[in-house]
Structure 1
Amino acid sequence: MPSSPRNRIGEVYGKLTVVRASERRTKAGNAFWWCRCSCGAEREVPSDKLSLNTARRKPTVNACETCSRELQIEGVYRKNDREEKQRRQAALEARSQLKGRVPDRWLSLPLTDAHARELGRKLFFRGTICLRGHLAPYRINGGCQACSGQTPSAANSPSTKPKGS
């Protein structure tokens, strides 16, 4: 007969509060606990998944299934927002080097595809060279305009070639 588990009733793990013990056990003999989420939903969680240790390598449970999904989605959004800020900053830096070397109307275009979508525009200009060596605006649904033959590339013009060549 396995030993009786430590009483966890009333302990809080993230959004979960331990309410009562369950009759179930894991294969390893760990007890299950019924936990109530801050949203009111209940979830049965094995005791080895309840931990406050943030440096722990094993996964932990800290919310009901619905709230866990929402937290995961929020984390993805925060990561995407952080990456978008970095892309916009890199585009600003690249574009600042190109003043006078590319048409001014390109420099007034949105910085990234997400920025163009926010503004309801179809074109954006990062200030970077595409895989085929063109320096031109991009369409939000993909592709360098010089690659599609719609705009001449600024990378091939004499004003963008390095001095001394």
Structure 2
Amino acid sequence: MPSSPRNRTGEQYGQLTVVRPSERRTKAGNAYWWCRCSCGKEREVPSDKLSHNTLRRKPVVTACETCAKELQIEGVYSKNDREEKQRRHDAEMRRESLQGTVPDRWLKLPLSDAHAREQMMTQYFHGKRCKYGHLAPYRINGGCLACAGQIPSA
């Protein structure tokens, strides 16, 4: 018979607060706990998934399923925002070094494909050469305009 688990009632893990023990046990013998999320929903969580240790390799449960999904989506959005800011910064630096060597209308184009979509445009210029060595604007759906034969490269 497994030993009685440590009483975790009242402890907080992320957005979850442990409310009461459950009758269930995992295959390894760990107890389940009923936890209430900050949004008011309850979730049954095994005790080995409740931890404050952020460096552990095991997955940790810190919110109800709905809030966890929202946190995951927010994390992806913030990561994409950071990467997009870096892409735009890199494009600005490359474009500064290209002033006078490429047509000015290219330098007025958006910095990245996401930037072009925001401005409802179909072309952008990030100042990189394509895999064939062309220095030319790109279409947002992919492809160097010089490779497509639409404009000569610089």
Compute the TM-score of the two structures, normalised by the length of structure 1.
0.92
Residue of structure 2 equivalent to 1:104: 104
Q: Gaps spanning 5+ residues in structure 2: where?
A: none
Residue of structure 2 equivalent to 1:123: 123
Residue of structure 2 equivalent to 1:54: 54
Within 5 Å, which residues of 2 pair with 1:23-42?
23-42=23-42
> Which amino acid is 2:98 matched to?
L
> Which amino acid is 1:34 matched to?
W
Residue of structure 2 equivalent to 1:45: 45
Query: 1:55 Cα shift?
Result: 1.4
Q: Gaps spanning 5+ residues in structure 1: where?
A: 155-165
Query: 1:132 Cα shift?
Result: 1.1
Query: 1:19 Cα shift?
Result: 0.6
Corresponding position: 1:143 with 2:151: no
Compute the TM-score of the two structures, normalised by the length of structure 2.
0.98
Taking the aligned partners of 1:39 and 1:10, their CA distance within structure 2 comes to: 16
Residue of structure 2 equivalent to 1:114: 114
Taking the aligned partners of 1:66 and 1:51, their CA distance within structure 2 comes to: 20
Taking the aligned partners of 1:122 and 1:143, their CA distance within structure 2 comes to: 11
| Residue deviations 1:4-38 (CA, integer Å, cap 9, x gap) | 10000111100101011000001111000000111
> Which amino acid is 1:14 matched to?
G
1:32 match: secondary structure: strand
1:97 match: secondary structure: helix
Query: 1:58 Cα shift?
Result: 1.1
2:79 match: secondary structure: helix
Structure 1 vs Structure 2: percent identity of aligned residues?
75
Matched positions, count:
154
